[in-house]
Amino acid sequence: MSRFPRLVAPAVTAFSILALLVGLSSLEACSNEDPPTTAGPPEDSLHGMAYAAPATLCTIADVRLTEISGIAPSRLRDGLYWFHNDSGGDAALFAIDTTGVTRAVCTLTGTTNRDWEDLASVVLEGKAWLYVGDIGDNDKKYSSVTVSRIPEPPVGTEWRDSALVAAAESAVFRYPDGARDCEALMVDPRDGRIFLLDKSGTSCGVYAASWPGNGNEAELQRVATFRPPFEFSLWRLVTGADINPDTRRVAVRTYSTVLEYVAPAGTAPAALFDSTAAFSISTPGLTQAEAVCYSRDGRDILTTSEGVNPPLLIIRRTE
């Protein structure tokens, strides 16, 4: 289960309080647009791209989705996204289109939702997969976590709340340095390697391991450490992440902001965190933002939060 941490250090300044209030303010109602394929900074001459300010793509209409903690684009169909709730909910993935309508709900058998915290979609050897991370651990008491995956089920364009069932493959991943609280899962589309980013108010560990096969275990390696560029510790907590299909960009979700790390083509995902974030995109109006992904074609970034009928925001690339 996700929860805000207890704020212990440094006295909260007036600026911090103002930032928190702005971060929790409401957005305007949604418009229905199809995503093709952040207030953002101007075009970056080094990276050759720019983002517009976040806009509301739609409102998530399904009242069963009140604790959204993961989002991933369908690899089979444009304009369709998969979502899940976090801890204690059904072991189910929701397929929702860009008007906010639930097209299908897929129940995963052979696994449970102890504390699902992130979702990834990827095509490996021509096959589309959905990976869900049962990786949350607020009290840091589990030395291992479970990642499950299913072949992505096709969803018909005219479906509405259709019921699907899929048998999940699952693998156990063990940390080398004790239990970690983690809410961010990424999968490298080049080789299927699993990456977990821990949730820390100081510096975040990046852990990686290859998929060991259904029912097997793997030892994670700590492959990188990075610190989100904020002074207020709450804003530094990483709650979601995604690798762009071009594999040279990573989007990282914190409670206040979406960060994007950029590197030359061919760079290993862990090496993306060696430099400072290329972009930092504020997303006001999300009450507890824990989900982020790129669009299917990798152009745009989408993010949403917990709560009843939350907005689905799109951050459009503008170059």
Whichever domain contains 212, its CATH number is 2.115.10
- The yes-or-no verdict on residue 121 having pLDDT over 70 is yes
Q: Are 95 and 82 in contact (CB under 8 A)?
A: yes
pLDDT value, residue 201: 82
Both structure tokens of 214: 């259904």
Is the residue at 16 inside a domain?
A: no
pLDDT value, residue 282: 92
How do strand 144-151 and strand 127-134 relate by DSSP bridges?
Answer: antiparallel
Closest CA to 67 of 290, 272, 296: 290
What is the arithmetic mean of pLDDT over 205-215?
A: 97
How do strand 169-174 and strand 144-151 relate by DSSP bridges?
Answer: antiparallel
In angstroms, rounded to a whole number, what is the distance separating the alpha carbons of residues 41 and 285?
19
What is the arithmetic mean of pLDDT over 248-260?
A: 95
Q: Are 295 and 242 in contact (CB under 8 A)?
A: no
- The yes-or-no verdict on residue 13 having pLDDT over 60 is no
> In whole numbers, what is the pLDDT of the chain averaged over residues?
86
pLDDT digits (tens, 9 = 90+) for 38-66: 333 333 333 557 999 999 999 999 999 99
Q: Are 87 and 146 in contact (CB under 8 A)?
A: no
Is the residue at 120 inside a domain?
A: yes
Flag the least confident range among 132-141, 156-165, 218-227, 272-281. 272-281
Band (234; pLDDT cuts 50, 70, 90): confident
Is the residue at 24 inside a domain?
A: no
How many C-beta atoms lie closer than 10 Å to residue 206's C-beta?
25
The range of the structural domain enclosing residue 244 comes to: 29-315
In angstroms, rounded to a whole number, what is the distance separating the alpha carbons of residues 58 and 67?
17
- Where do we find the tokens 């809410």? 183
- How many domains are there within the chain? 1
Number of alpha helices (DSSP H) and beta strands (DSSP E) in the chain? 1, 22
Element (H, E) at 19: helix 14-23
- The yes-or-no verdict on residue 246 having pLDDT over 70 is yes
In angstroms, rounded to a whole number, what is the distance separating the alpha carbons of residues 265 and 246?
8
pLDDT value, residue 204: 93
- Where do we find the tokens 């992904």? 293
Both structure tokens of 59: 């409102």
In angstroms, rounded to a whole number, what is the distance separating the alpha carbons of residues 41 and 164?
42
pLDDT digits (tens, 9 = 90+) for 165-204: 999 999 999 999 999 999 999 999 999 999 999 998 888 9
Is the residue at 160 inside a domain?
A: yes
pLDDT value, residue 7: 32
Residue-wise over 248-265: b if at least 16 C-beta within 10 A, else e? Answer: bbbbbbbbbbbbbbbbee
Closest CA to 65 of 302, 318, 290, 297: 290
pLDDT value, residue 90: 92
Is the residue at 5 inside a domain?
A: no
Is the residue at 205 inside a domain?
A: yes
Q: pTM for this structure?
A: 0.86
Is the residue at 180 inside a domain?
A: yes
- The yes-or-no verdict on residue 3 having pLDDT over 90 is no
pLDDT value, residue 263: 87
From residue 115, give the alpha-carbon distance in Å to each of 90, 137, 266, 310: 10, 7, 33, 20
pLDDT digits (tens, 9 = 90+) for 18-41: 333 333 333 333 333 333 233 333
Give the distance between the most distant pair of CA atoms in the chain: 54
pLDDT value, residue 24: 34
Is the residue at 288 inside a domain?
A: yes
pLDDT digits (tens, 9 = 90+) for 99-117: 999 999 999 999 999 999 9
- The yes-or-no verdict on residue 74 having pLDDT over 70 is yes
In angstroms, rounded to a whole number, what is the distance separating the alpha carbons of residues 106 and 163?
6
- The yes-or-no verdict on residue 316 having pLDDT over 70 is yes
Band (2; pLDDT cuts 50, 70, 90): low
